[in-house]
Chains A and B, each alone.
Chain A
């Protein structure tokens, strides 16, 4: 479906001028939204490429080069020199690459747990008959209500208490699982919700056909339901992944070794007690944003599709 032939808008569609105006307005709005959304990122990139003396000036320079007409000739005037010095300094000061790898491990692990457990619970809540169903759903939702910071100390104490026990390697300090498990739990209500909404939309005939064919309930789940729930899995995975990638407070407290820190915490370590070297910080911030931008570009279609399938008619 293209914009113009969109069968829903008909009244004035055959008037060409109106059409052009509409197109113009449409692309104009999209361009405006893209600009507003991405401008801060552009600005961070630009700031990171400026030498320190150019950062704290007013008015600010927007472009490193401008083209002017001087004596009838086009000349390119450099407004400020571009430098990669900030990137060099950031990479030298902190193991940014290691931080990014840690973030990727933690975020992927969290996504996997939530997809597996969330789909199981979502399936039960949506398609199986059992008593107290609403109560269970509410109970799961209730788990999302305690403010995040209030969970920190109880869980941190728990982690300390578990050190040295068999659970130490699973829920301990400086263990990837020590972050993955709490993150997975915090996002679980969301995951369960997405899946149960998605499964609500599947026609009942799917299972009935399976049961008629002699498949067991378990067989139906694995052979029929799981294969068609890819969109909901993708949505859940992406949303949970981004959440885990972004979390700060737990990552700060549970990972004390530099080699285990995530990127959001790593950024907070730049700077002195008093001074914030904005050039280096913006360089580090930009490096942390690149994987996210690639991720969004690759998966945005999946996000939208999965969302459509997942909460479409909740």
Chain B
């Protein structure tokens, strides 16, 4: 990469100038880098402030109070400190949901990574009908989550599900199996569905990374007699590392906040076997929403905790990922 510290100072470091000079400069559309950065970033930041940060602050505020989100006309908001968090951390269902979400996330994401890498390696080649194949393979990723959950509930129907049908035909099962009735199998099924849906997205990102690896590296490795496996291990993997990290961040955060799939597929059951953290949050809030019942206060505390965990995950990724450009 070209060193970018050269050749730019003349216009950007104008320095001490009066108001008049500044206006003069603006009229000619000559502005400094910093000014341009402010102009370009302001719309996004203002927008996020109104639509994204306001809810975050509102949620944190709600988690420290009772009677905030939902109110009787005669009721006052009461500050309760960490009371809602205490209630949250003493709720067995919360810890169960944390376990479910961690399993769901940290099983599905690595499996997607492995499958996605295989798929990306396949899709690197040119072949007939590639565009059809690519569109077909990417399609599950484009499916709306609620509709996806509906479709799979239908495919896994305990009595008429086609998945059972196929497994019976192949001889693996002797009769239809109720996949969503047994706690373990329900969680595995849900995880498998998400792997089915998002592997292609993972492959897409990895494919991008693969094509940025210069061909000449492989050629010289082959000249040196490196085996296929060695080329993969010594060239592909290390050079793909940054892309893998991007893929991980874009998959881990949504998986950790999964809601639509368990909501539509199992409603969190059987028992609480598929209740993810966000589904737990939603249920805590809506099962008990009354102004004196505090469901939303508990839900807000849960949402804040989820945000914090996600923040930790994101910070770990960014710390590994972000390489500030030297400019």
Contacts and interface: CB of A to CB of B under 8 A. Distances in A.
A200 B324 contact: no
Interface stretch (B45-53, B75-83, B106-114): B45-53
A219 interface: yes
Contacts of A267: 146-147, 150
Contacts of A278: 154
Nearest to B28: A216
A3 B151 contact: no
Interface stretch (A75-83, A86-94, A203-211): A203-211
| Chain A facing B: main interface SS | helix
A259 interface: no
Interface string B39-71: 011011101101111111011000000000100
B215 A8 contact: yes
Interface string B4-42: 101110011000000000000000111111101110110
A293 B205 contact: no
A304 B154 CA distance: 31
Contacts of B59: 146, 150-151, 154
Interface in B187-215: 196, 200, 204-205, 207-209, 211-212, 215
A312 interface: yes
B84 interface: no
Contacts, number: 321
Given A33-B122, A296-B138, A150 B303 contact: yes
Given A1-B126, A148-B257, A188-B44, A264 B146 contact: yes
Nearest to A142: B311
A300 B48 contact: no
A10 B228 CA distance: 9
B185 interface: no
12 contacts: A2-B125, A2-B127, A37-B138, A37-B139, A44-B154, A58-B160, A117-B43, A137-B318, A138-B315, A182-B51, A246-B142, A304-B208
Interface of B: 1-2, 4, 6-8, 11-12, 28-34, 36-38, 40-41, 43-45, 47-48, 50-56, 58-59, 69, 119, 122, 125-127, 131-147, 150-152, 154-155, 159-160, 162, 164-165, 168-169, 176, 196, 200, 204-205, 207-209, 211-212, 215, 218-219, 222, 227-228, 231, 242-243, 245-246, 250, 253, 257, 259-260, 277-278, 281-282, 285, 296, 299-300, 303, 306-307, 310-311, 314-315, 318, 321-322, 324-325, 327
Interface of A: 1-3, 6-11, 26-27, 29-30, 33-34, 36-38, 40-41, 43-44, 47, 55-60, 117-118, 120-121, 123-131, 133-134, 136-151, 153-155, 158, 181-182, 184-186, 188, 190, 192, 197, 200, 203-205, 207-208, 211-212, 216-219, 221, 242, 245-248, 264, 267-268, 278, 281-282, 285, 288-289, 292-293, 295-297, 300-301, 303-304, 307-314
